[in-house]
């Protein structure tokens, strides 16, 4: 209610209170109008209060809903973050398993499974680019005798030493894996037979100088190796190249060991 309204109501109330107007015909009509106005005014105020209450309630609800939404949002965010973390973990675990399943546990070299995978891809690539590829099957001479005489610990040490030596002497794109037992397979991309021959000769020469401690370091074991080399032929499956290298290795063994033989195409 503003000032003017209040003044008007006061004026009307004053007029109604004057004794001499009581008998006037307009007095009773004005008085009824005045009371009706007051009643209406009260109703209006109640209405406003109720409406305000509803609005306030609605606002509180909105606020709560907002907070709830925010909480859920945070929770969802946290859930995805943690779930992603576990996903990464699983991925790493798979990767580690994959690595382990492709590696020879003793020497850390590629195992036979890994060699097969690599050769599969490599022969396809070599064929496409009309490149060359040589495979070397290398076997430690009289390895069984080393095991029998000095024990398996020394035998394992021989294998590890040879593996390290091979890895250290190969070129960047060459690959070396443990084919099984004391047999190693060297994969030499972009290498024709004659170059592979030189490389293997140098390698086996160095091998003779390797001193491997045995029997509690009281003596040293020296090793030699025999090797068979085959150059992959266009149209040939890598398995066939490996077989030819293997036959050349057998020939080297038969010719007295500590040498390398070349497979015929």
Under the rule (CB under 8 A), what is the footprint of other proteins? 75, 78-83, 85-86, 88-90, 92-93
User: Shortest gap between Cβ of 157 and other proteins (angstroms)?
Assistant: 22
Q: Please identify, using beta-carbon distances, which residue of 88 and 194 lies nearer to other proteins.
A: 88
66 or 74, CB closer to other proteins? 74
- Rounded to the nearest whole angstrom, what is the least distance from the CB of residue 93 to other proteins in the complex? 8
Nearer to other proteins, 35 or 74 (CB): 74
Of the candidates 182, 190, 231, 264, the residue annotated as catalytic is: 182
* Closest to 152 (Cα-Cα) out of 178, 109, 182, 177: 182
Measured in whole angstroms, the distance separating CA 148 from the mean position of its chain's CA atoms is 44
Give the shortest CB-66-to-other proteins separation in angstroms: 19
CB of 73 to other proteins, least distance (A): 13
- Specify the residue, 55 or 68, whose C-beta has the smaller distance to other proteins: 68
- Please say if 117 is a catalytic residue: no
| Residues facing residue 177 across a β-bridge | 110, 185
Residues belonging to the active site: 182
């Amino acid at each position: 209610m503003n000032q003017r309204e209040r003044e008007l109501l006061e004026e009307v109330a004053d007029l109604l209170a004057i004794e001499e107007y009581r008998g006037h015909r307009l007095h009773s009509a004005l008085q009824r109008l005045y009371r009706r106005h007051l009643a209406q005014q009260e109703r209006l105020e109640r209405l406003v209060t109720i409406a305000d209450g509803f609005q306030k309630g609605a606002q509180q609800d909105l606020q709560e809903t907002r907070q709830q939404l925010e909480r859920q949002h945070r929770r969802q965010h946290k859930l995805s973050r943690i779930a992603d973390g576990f996903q990464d973990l699983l991925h790493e675990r798979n990767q580690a398993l994959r690595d382990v399943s492709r590696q020879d546990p003793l020497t850390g070299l590629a195992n036979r499974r890994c060699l097969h995978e690599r050769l599969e891809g490599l022969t396809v690539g070599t064929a496409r680019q009309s490149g060359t590829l040589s495979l070397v099957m290398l076997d430690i001479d009289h390895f069984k005798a080393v095991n029998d005489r000095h024990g398996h610990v020394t035998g394992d040490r021989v294998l590890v030493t040879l593996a390290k030596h091979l890895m250290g002497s190969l070129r960047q794109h060459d690959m070396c894996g443990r084919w099984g037992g004391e047999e190693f397979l060297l994969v030499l991309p972009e290498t024709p037979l004659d170059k592979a021959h030189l490389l293997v000769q140098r390698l086996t020469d160095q091998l003779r100088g390797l001193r491997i401690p045995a029997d509690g370091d009281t003596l040293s074991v020296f090793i030699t190796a025999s090797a068979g080399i085959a150059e992959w032929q266009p149209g040939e499956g890598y398995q066939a190249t490996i077989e030819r290298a293997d036959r050349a290795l057998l020939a080297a063994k038969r010719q007295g060991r500590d040498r390398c033989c070349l497979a015929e195409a």
